[in-house]
Structure 1
Amino acid sequence: MNQSIVEDIVSHFGEKVFEFEEPFGLLTFTTHAENLIEIVSYLKDHPTFKFTFLTDVTGIHLPDNTGKEFCSVCHLHSWENRVRLRIKVFVPTSAPIVPSLTPLFECANWLEREAFDFFGILYSGHPNLKRILNMDEMDYFPMRKEYPMEDATRNDKIDAMFGR
């Protein structure tokens, strides 16, 4: 099934879809932000594929990936065909903007708010993009890899205390 999906979307979208892979059998590909709605609509309304369920929308922060530091990932599921796929969209830190999938899937409302809350990815066209799990007063996004792994001010983790 994955091969027929790849052939179909490549013939329909051409260079708008790229970087195809199948880690653990999960069809994965990348597209640009401006093509996301068109591609997801096509997959949702396709008479054979029927990707009618949005399983998840999440974010990834890749600070060393210059010009593509943030990745918004959406997972689609075709219940009828028992097939899942993953679509990645990379955006820069200077404009971490991805179009919202809420016009296609109502559940994207909360999923995108969570990705915004933790990564700061802005979903354009979202009806109510605001924090849902962190405090409104937070001026940072806790899942970004911008902070040290450990608190340097702590003195209870000195190697000498552990015989090193």
Structure 2
Amino acid sequence: MAEVMNQDLITLLSEKFGDKIIGVNEPYGLLTFETTKDVIVEVLRFLKESEVANFNFLTDITAVHYPEKKHGIAVVYHLHSMVKKIRVRVKVYIDSQNPTIPTATTLWNAANWMERETYDFFGVKFEGHPDLRRILNMDDLGVFPMLKQYPLEDPNRVDKKDEYFGR
């Protein structure tokens, strides 16, 4: 069995998806690339079913909020090929005003709870998800706590005032 290199995967993805594969880099040797939400399911399916890639394990789905960017939320997928012993990170930037993306539950059953957690904390709506509801927070919580639109500390706390510490 020949070892699969990051460059082999990028070549395969570029041949199949063309300019839909962008932002390719390798921080600490971990192949990372970006794609768009209209082809994310096809990209994930290709990575899972390709004989060369064989990414049979979905390690994680999460999100990152970048309030200063145009597309403020990045949905991040981590995949692992246990057979080929290689990992990959796939990012999809979506609009923070309408955070929707297709579900990956059609490919991996494990995506169910990972997508629920991402919805619970970031408000990302996974279209086609069989049971998208909060998983860790209260059902009636009206906010998504991991979005960086809230102050880190309560400005009204009196125990943090400088005059109490001689400053």
Please give the TM-score of this superposition, normalised by the length of structure 2. 0.96
Aligned equivalent of 2:44, options 40, 62, 66 = 40
RMSD of Structure 2 on Structure 1 (CA): 0.7
Equivalent residues, number: 163
Aligned equivalent of 1:121, options 109, 120, 124 = 124
Q: Give unpaired runs (5+ residues) of structure 1.
A: none
Secondary structure of the structure 2 residue equivalent to 1:34: coil
- The correspondence of residues 81-160 of structure 1 with structure 2, limited to 5 A, is 81-160=84-163
1:159 CA displacement: 1.3
C-alpha distance in 1 between matches for 2:88 and 2:138: 33
1:163 CA displacement: 2.3
C-alpha distance in 2 between matches for 1:38 and 1:159: 55
Report the identity percentage.
45
Q: Does 1:73 align with 2:76?
A: yes
C-alpha distance in 1 between matches for 2:95 and 2:52: 35
1:54 CA displacement: 0.4
1:94 CA displacement: 2.1
C-alpha distance in 2 between matches for 1:162 and 1:153: 16
Aligned equivalent of 2:64, options 43, 60, 67 = 60
Secondary structure of the structure 2 residue equivalent to 1:9: helix
Q: Structure 1 runs of 4+ off > 4 angstroms?
A: none
